[in-house]
Structure 1
Amino acid sequence: MIALEEARGRILGALSPTPAETVALPEAWGRVTARPVVARVTQPPADVSAMDGYAVRAGDAVAGAVLRRIGEAPAGHPFSGMIGAGETVRIFTGSFIPRGADAVLLQEDAREDAAGVTVGEAVMAGRWIRRRGLDFSEGEALIPSGRRMTARDIGLAAACNHPWITVRRRPRIGILATGDEIALPGEPIPAGGIVSSNAHALAALVRAGGGEPVVLPIAADDRAAIAEAAQAARACDMLVTTGGASVGEHDLVQAALGPEGFALDFWQIAMRPGKPLIWGRLGATPVLGLPGNPVSALVCAVQFLLPALAVLSGLPAGAPPTVRVLTGAAIAANDKRFDHLRATLAEDAEGRLVATPFARQDSSMLATLARADALVLRAPLAPAMAAGSEVEAILLAQLGI
Structure 2
Amino acid sequence: MTGLLPLEDAQARLLALGSPVDSLVLPVAEAAGRWLAEDVASLRTQPAADLSAMDGYAIRFAECPGPWTVVGESAAGAPLGRALAPGKAARIFTGAAMPDGADTVLVQEEAARDGERLRLAGEGPPETGAHVRKRGRDFAEGDTLLPTGAKLTPPALALAIAGGHSTLPVRRDLRIALISTGDELVPAGTPTDAAQLPASNGPMIAAQLAGLPVAVDDIGIVPDTREALAKALDATRDADVIVTIGGASVGDHDLVRPALEAAGAEIDFWRIAMKPGKPLMAGTLGRPVVLGLPGNPASAFVTAKLFLEPLIAQLSGARDPLPAFQPARLAADLPGVGVRTEFLRGRWREGAVEVLPQQSSAALAALAHAQLLIRRPAGSSPARAGDTVDILPLA
Matched, 1:37 2:54: no
Partner of 1:119: 119
Distance 1:337 1:105 in 2: 64
Partner of 1:321: 325
The partner residue of 1:12 within 10, 15, 18 is 15
Matched, 1:365 2:368: no
Partner of 2:392: 395
Contact 1:357 1:376 in 2 (8 A): no
Distance 1:34 1:365 in 2: 40
Between 273-282 and 210-219, the greater mean CA deviation after superposition: 210-219
The alignment partner of 2:272 has SS state of coil
Query: Which amino acid in 2 is paired with 1:355?
Result: E
User: Which runs of structure 2 are paired with 1:318-397 in the superposition (5 Å)?
Assistant: 318=322, 321=325, 323=327, 325-326=329-330, 328-329=332-333, 331=335, 336-347=339-350, 353-356=352-355, 358=357, 360-378=358-376, 385=382, 388=385, 390=387, 392-397=389-394
The alignment partner of 2:221 has SS state of coil
* Cα 1:30–1:56 shift into 2, 3 Å: same
The partner residue of 1:308 within 298, 306, 311 is 311
* Cα 1:112–1:52 shift into 2, 3 Å: farther
Partner of 1:104: 105
Partner of 1:3: 5
Contact 2:17 2:283 in 1 (8 A): no
Equivalences, count: 387
Distance 1:51 1:92 in 2: 6
- Superposed CA offset, 1:135-165 (max 9, x none): 2111111222211122111222221121111
Partner of 2:166: 163
Distance 1:372 1:103 in 2: 53
* Cα 1:27–1:54 shift into 2, 3 Å: same
Partner of 1:192: 195
Query: Which amino acid in 1 is paired with 2:202?
Result: A
- Superposed CA offset, 1:325-367 (max 9, x none): 5472453x655544444344434xxx6x343352x53322111
Contact 1:303 1:320 in 2 (8 A): no
CA RMSD of aligned residues (A): 3.0
Query: Which amino acid in 1 is paired with 2:365?
Result: A
Contact 2:68 2:89 in 1 (8 A): no
Distance 1:206 1:71 in 2: 56
Partner of 1:83: 84
Cα offset, 1:85, TM superposition? 4.3
Query: Which amino acid in 2 is paired with 1:118?
Result: L
Distance 2:86 2:333 in 1: 78
Cα offset, 1:391, TM superposition? 7.2
The alignment partner of 1:90 has SS state of strand
* Cα 1:328–1:54 shift into 2, 3 Å: closer
Partner of 2:286: 283
- Superposed CA offset, 1:118-141 (max 9, x none): 323565542333221122111111
Contact 1:374 1:393 in 2 (8 A): no
Contact 1:174 1:239 in 2 (8 A): yes
Partner of 1:74: 75
Contact 1:206 1:309 in 2 (8 A): no
- What is the percentage of aligned positions where both structures have the same residue? 40
Matched, 1:298 2:306: no
* Cα 1:367–1:120 shift into 2, 3 Å: same
User: Which runs of structure 2 are paired with 1:212-223 in the superposition (5 Å)?
Assistant: 212-223=215-226
* Long gaps (5+) in structure 2: none
Partner of 2:241: 238
* Cα 1:12–1:112 shift into 2, 3 Å: same
- Superposed CA offset, 1:298-350 (max 9, x none): 2222332233223223232457636465472453x655544444344434xxx
Distance 1:40 1:76 in 2: 20
* Cα 1:355–1:42 shift into 2, 3 Å: same
Distance 2:60 2:151 in 1: 46
